[in-house]
Structure 1
Amino acid sequence: MPTPTLRVVIVGGGIGGLCLAQGLHAAGIDVEVFERDAAPDARLQGYRLNIEPVGSQALHDCLPAHLWRILVATAGDPGPGMGVFTERMRLLMREDAPPTERDSSEQAHAVSRVTLRRLLLAGLDDIVHFGKEFTSYRQNADGTVTALFADGTSATGDLLVGADGANSRVRRQLLPHARRSPVPGVGIGGKLPLGDGKAWLPKEMTSTKNMFLPKRDFLFTAVFRRREAGSATFERVGDQMRAADLDPDLLTQDAKDDDYVMWAYVAHRRALPANLLDTPAGGRGQRLRELVTSRLIDWHPGLRELIAQTPADTVERFDFATAEPVKPWPTTNVTVLGDAIHSMPPVGGLGGNAALYDADALRRALIAVSQGEADLLPAIAEYERAMLKNGFAAVRAATMYLRLATLPNRAVRIIARTFFRLCGVLPPLRRAIFSD
């Protein structure tokens, strides 16, 4: 029988914090979320998010069954596996596609960030509090912890969870020695709507994820294609949306957008003009697009056309930073998850999935505490060990991909291409390295 005395305070209403809140609420644990944004729709933007199997399993386990079914119904198909190519579209390796008979919780899903946020907020109206800027926490003599907010209010619980992103104030107080370092890579990304007149696109662009490893720089592409038309989604799960007090039109509005190919170009900072951001905002996307096109002169014509035809208003620049490794610390009634502790460059789409993994791992630990199967601090210590191991493995992987993308040493690039080519012709090697 869950004990009513376990109270959890979550600072930050991103996907990790909300996923944890959904899982704890479903388990009958007293939980509150405090988010600095003024309203639920303050951040309805961005590309769709590739939820890999580890993230799918976490969302499946934390969300109520009806919300999970709605998420799957409104998601897109990111395609089977991933291809690695040269800049001339010569295949080096194709990652094994997952078996088609896998359950939806074991599959990858291309999810609208807008839709995912609305689903994660569903049913939490009395639990998520907006306009709450966290300033610091205070650990109390009775074993509780109090979160303090800029408006003079506070919240007290048995556990405080920092899910407040890469610039986490919770982490700064808990682990003042933890650092984030800038990395030399610069990313430029955009999205090309799919539709009529795109016959020139290589078929790989419209069916799967792809990584291009030229003699310099790096390009990643992913297709975001709806599994079904919006009308079919309404017909199949519209009643479930309304039963959950969700507006079907509002919830799936992002699914009405055109399907698109997302691309992300990465280069070393020194390879790009220092005054890249001096262009007025209105013309910045066009200048960024022209810059990328100019560096793809010897690439496959379809890749050059992908960049050249991308609407300039979708093209943006991204600067990268990464968390430095953190050693285990003495466990207290304050912990962290996701980007608050192991932020990483968005290369490979690992960060969001790592945050979802953390949320599910912490949910399981706290359920054990609430059911009297474990004491709080040992359960949190076990969670932190798993979180640090998984999270910083993802940081290393993302950093490795970024270094591969930005290293000017052509010998290293040749070695990397040879490695992927070997993985392409030796399935056991490929599976050993790239399997889940």
Structure 2
Amino acid sequence: MRVLIVGAGTGGLCLAHGLTRAGIDVEVFERSTESTDGLPGYGIHLNANGCKALHDCLPPENWDRFDAVTAPAKDIVRFHDEHLRQITARDGDFIASESDPIRHRRAVSRLALREVLLEGLNPVLRWDKTFVRYEQPPGGGVTAHFADGTTAAGDVLVGADGSNSRVRGQYLPDLRRFDVGVFNVAGRYALTPDRAARLPTPLTEGSVNNIVPAGPGWMFVSTWYTPRRWADAQHDGSHIKDDAATDYVVWAYAAARAGYPAGVEDMNSDQLRDLVLDRTKDWDPTLRSLVADAVPGSIAPIPLRSMPTLEPWPASTVTLLGDAIHNMTPMAGVGANTALRDAGHLRAALSQAAAGDGDPVQAIAEYETRMRAYANIALSQSLRNARTAGAEARLKRSAFRTLLRVAEAAPPVKRFMFAAPKDRD
């Protein structure tokens, strides 16, 4: 079996490792010309599903390197009012409850994770390859066409080319993202030791903090600590960016799009900073300082978009994974984990078909059925969280804050309210 993967992102590279380990011929085509093009400077949290997929796909030496460059991550979500008074908290600390060390929740720099995923794949990576279209010959298989005039033929084509996927555009042209009506302004605050000492513990311990004011708006605040072991694990540190070892408080102010001024998408970093400061002028000074003293140029507008619920489609020799099929808002924090989960399941399905001379289309059908089930859960959760953050009606906001206070006073209500979907591989 020969598999063509369009896109060298997290999910595509994870899948390439898994298929290569299974003895399947793989090529990865990436439109970027360098391995770090457009890569954000901070990190992500990987949950049990994401870690399991990586462990199943990566060669042992890559997994060991991944293990060395990650740090334990808390699974605590706090809710505060705009004066930083805690309303309630959900403490689902994964490390304390998970017995399998492979599944422990971890924090990892995006650049460090990318280095782990790129390691060993040079023979199958094709840079500066912009996908244009594909053809499916009557006899089976698929041929990919690229902007430089070259083509590649295989048995399966996997679109792992992100939220604006060209593969999806041809394969499922009616499946499009929609604007959820909520707009984020996000930035980062460099966390020096002096600054950390002045901030309250909940903002620096690594938990996710939700600031829920009485009126419009919402703020997410969490500290990103760069795992120190990353630098020690590098064979050659010359490629590491200057800010790679900097700790940050990452924040995002969310509100209904209708409440922002026209042209907010075109505002520069300073204008966005002043806009958020004006909208939070009655908030706690500590929260406002995160905005006022954000890293220059780091504040950016982020319109939130999402895929709709995924309905079944006929399987073929073309399939999709990650943001290419289930791009979601960042409000549930599971986008990268869901992409890795896709890679793990698609690897298993195609490997089984290749080992038994099975039909790759049937293997893809099984993968897509399973993927749609957990992806729809993630899409629903992230969309619900985004719309809650963007709620403008004061009565709805008051009711939500009251519910949080009831949950804090009544543990059974809290357990019910924060019960996570039973959705784990």
Scaled by the length of structure 1, the TM-score of the pair is: 0.89
Q: Give the secondary structure class of the aligned counterpart of 1:314.
A: coil
| Deviations 1:58-91, CA, capped at 9 Å, x for gaps | 1122111221222232224443422222222223
Distance in 1 (alpha carbons) for counterparts of 2:377 and 2:422:
14
Amino acid at match of 2:208: K
Distance in 1 (alpha carbons) for counterparts of 2:75 and 2:373:
27
Q: Which residue of 1 aligns with 2:283?
A: 299
Give the alignment of 1:81-120 within 5 angstroms: 81-89=76-84, 90-100=86-96, 102-120=99-117
| Deviations 1:2-52, CA, capped at 9 Å, x for gaps | xxxx11111111111111101111121111111111222323334312222
Amino acid at match of 1:273: P
Contact 2:41–2:244 under 8 Å retained in 1: no
Q: Which residue of 2 aligns with 1:242?
A: none
Q: Give the secondary structure class of the aligned counterpart of 2:401.
A: helix
- Residues paired across the two proteins, number: 415
Q: 1:25 aligns with which of 20, 24, 34?
A: 20
Q: Which residue of 2 aligns with 1:260?
A: 248
- Structure 1 position 39 matched with structure 2 position 34: yes
Give the alignment of 1:15-414 within 5 angstroms: 15-89=10-84, 90-100=86-96, 102-198=99-195, 199-207=197-205, 208-215=207-214, 216-228=216-228, 234=232, 237=233, 247-250=235-238, 256-279=244-267, 284-372=268-356, 374-414=358-398
**Structure 1 residues 152 and 65: CA distance shift in structure 2, 3 A:** same
Contact 1:74–1:255 under 8 Å retained in 2: no
Amino acid at match of 1:432: A
Amino acid at match of 1:195: T
**Structure 1 residues 421 and 55: CA distance shift in structure 2, 3 A:** farther
**Structure 1 residues 175 and 206: CA distance shift in structure 2, 3 A:** same
Distance in 1 (alpha carbons) for counterparts of 2:303 and 2:245:
27
Contact 1:191–1:315 under 8 Å retained in 2: yes
Q: Give the secondary structure class of the aligned counterpart of 2:392.
A: coil
Q: Which stretch has the larger CA shift, 375-384 or 77-86?
A: 77-86
Amino acid at match of 2:61: H
Amino acid at match of 2:258: R
Q: 2:416 aligns with which of 423, 426, 429?
A: 429
Deviation of residue 400 (structure 1)?
A: 0.7
Q: Which residue of 2 aligns with 1:3?
A: none
> After the TM superposition, which segments of 4 or more aligned residues of structure 1 sit over 4 Å from their partners?
250-256
Distance in 2 (alpha carbons) for counterparts of 1:129 and 1:229:
30
Deviation of residue 434 (structure 1)?
A: 6.3
Distance in 1 (alpha carbons) for counterparts of 2:363 and 2:242:
39
| Deviations 1:223-251, CA, capped at 9 Å, x for gaps | 11134356xx52xx45xxxxxxxx44157
Q: In structure 2, list runs of 5 or more residues that go unmatched.
A: none
Deviation of residue 375 (structure 1)?
A: 3.0
**Structure 1 residues 72 and 210: CA distance shift in structure 2, 3 A:** farther
Distance in 2 (alpha carbons) for counterparts of 1:289 and 1:174:
40
Q: Which stretch has the larger CA shift, 359-368 or 103-112?
A: 103-112
Q: Give the secondary structure class of the aligned counterpart of 1:312.
A: coil
Distance in 2 (alpha carbons) for counterparts of 1:350 and 1:65:
25
Scaled by the length of structure 2, the TM-score of the pair is: 0.91
| Deviations 1:392-431, CA, capped at 9 Å, x for gaps | 2111111111111112112222232233344444254256
Contact 2:94–2:105 under 8 Å retained in 1: no
Distance in 2 (alpha carbons) for counterparts of 1:192 and 1:95:
25
Deviation of residue 55 (structure 1)?
A: 1.2
Distance in 1 (alpha carbons) for counterparts of 2:242 and 2:401:
37
Amino acid at match of 1:390: Y
Q: In structure 1, list runs of 5 or more residues that go unmatched.
A: 1-5, 239-246
Deviation of residue 252 (structure 1)?
A: 5.6
**Structure 1 residues 217 and 184: CA distance shift in structure 2, 3 A:** same
- Structure 1 position 418 matched with structure 2 position 402: yes
**Structure 1 residues 430 and 106: CA distance shift in structure 2, 3 A:** farther
| Deviations 1:276-308, CA, capped at 9 Å, x for gaps | 3555xxxx2122112112212232232122222
**Structure 1 residues 278 and 31: CA distance shift in structure 2, 3 A:** closer
Distance in 2 (alpha carbons) for counterparts of 1:153 and 1:175:
24
- Structure 1 position 12 matched with structure 2 position 7: yes
Contact 2:159–2:167 under 8 Å retained in 1: yes
**Structure 1 residues 420 and 62: CA distance shift in structure 2, 3 A:** farther
Deviation of residue 200 (structure 1)?
A: 2.5
What value does the CA root-mean-square deviation take over the aligned residues?
A: 2.2
Contact 2:52–2:103 under 8 Å retained in 1: yes
Contact 2:70–2:229 under 8 Å retained in 1: no
Distance in 1 (alpha carbons) for counterparts of 2:292 and 2:8:
37
Q: Which stretch has the larger CA shift, 197-206 or 148-157?
A: 197-206
Q: Which stretch has the larger CA shift, 356-365 or 180-189?
A: 180-189
Deviation of residue 95 (structure 1)?
A: 2.8
